[in-house]
Amino acid sequence: MKYILYSLFLICSVYVQAKEPILVVTELAPPNQVLIDGEVAGEGTQFIRDIFAEADLTPNIQMYPWARAYKIADELKNTFIYSLARTVEREDKFYWIGPVERFELGFIGLSERDDLIINTTEQAKVYKIAMQRNDFSTQTLAKLGFEVVLTSDIQKSYSLLLAKKVDLIVDDPLYMQQMSDYLKLKPAHLKFIYKIDELTIDAYLAANKKTDMHLIESLQAAFLKIKQKKGLPYWY
């Protein structure tokens, strides 16, 4: 009898949990994560919504500076985050639902700067670089001996570059163009200078390690169904 009651309790708990909006955090990253009329939208975000819909779950997607988004996902149970680079250091800190993006990052500077000459990653150490706190790219370059100016999110890094307070930032060339459009810059205002091989990596929808396993399994199954129905996002 006790076993039956306990089983019913678990079923009811899961049902209630499934009907409640589930917190999902992300950052500003056009075209995949943008704010439209106060709601997080974009191509990559729609893919996330499709996964949750397939699992019959409701996501409460909130946008924060990356450092804060990462902290929230790291500390709050039943919280999800995208797009999180899957690294060795993070492997045991999160549950990994599925890849939703791919980063091919490199150094970006102002087009007017003819003096920015980078033919190897090592050569960039002479320049002042802005990078985001708690970002895998920052952690990777730190291991390579870089000292950088830390910012709370990618938009702040772009702001420092545009204000000529730093020489370089790190981003994907696709997102550089999208961010240029978002910031209403002239098409040739920025230039992609050098691709960093160590910063090519898949990024995932991931979950806090204390997240209910029913949610993890439901979303992993939903991801596979969406992948089969629609394929992975366009950048794959």
Answer whether residue 210 is part of any domain: yes
Q: Distance of CA 8 to CAs 1, 11, 15, 56, Å?
A: 11, 5, 10, 20
Rounded distance between C-alpha atoms, residue 111 and residue 90, angstroms: 35
Q: How confident is the model at residue 9 (pLDDT cuts 50, 70, 90)?
A: very low
Span 79-105, mean pLDDT?
A: 96
Is 236 within a domain?
no
In this structure, the answer to whether residues 117 and 34 fall within a common structural domain is no
Question: Which two tokens mark 49?
Answer: 């919504």
In a domain, 152, yes or no: yes
Q: Could you tell me if 141 and 58 lie in one domain?
A: no
Cβ atoms 86, 79 nearer than 8 A: no
Same domain, 6 and 95: yes
DSSP string, 75-121: HSTT-EEEEEE--TTTTTTEEEEEEEEEEEEEEEEETT-TT---SSG
Look at residue 230 in the predicted model and tell me its pLDDT: 87
Residues 95 and 210 in one domain: yes
Whether residue 211 sits in one domain with residue 96: yes
Same domain, 70 and 140: no
Determine the angle formed by the axes of helices 154-162 and 173-182, rounding to 10 degrees. Answer: 70
* 235 in a structural domain: no
Q: Is residue 34 situated within a structural domain?
A: yes
Please count the structural domains in the chain: 2
pLDDT surpassing 80 at residue 7: no
Pair 73, 37 in one domain: yes
Residues 219 and 166 in one domain: no
Residue 87, domain extent: 2-102+202-230
- pLDDT band for 231, please (50, 70, 90 cuts): confident
In this structure, the answer to whether residues 113 and 161 fall within a common structural domain is yes
Residue 118 located in a structural domain = yes
CATH code of 48's domain = 3.40.190.10
Query: Same structural domain for residues 174 and 218?
Result: no
| 221 and 154 housed in the same domain | no
Judge whether 186 lies within some domain. yes
Within this chain, do residues 52 and 117 fall inside the same structural domain, yes or no?
A: no
Residue 105 main-chain phi, psi, to 5 deg:
-90, 155
The pLDDT tens digits for 152-187 are: 999 999 999 999 999 999 999 999 999 999 999 998
pLDDT in tens, 13-66: 454 455 799 999 999 999 899 999 999 999 999 999 999 999 999 999 999 999
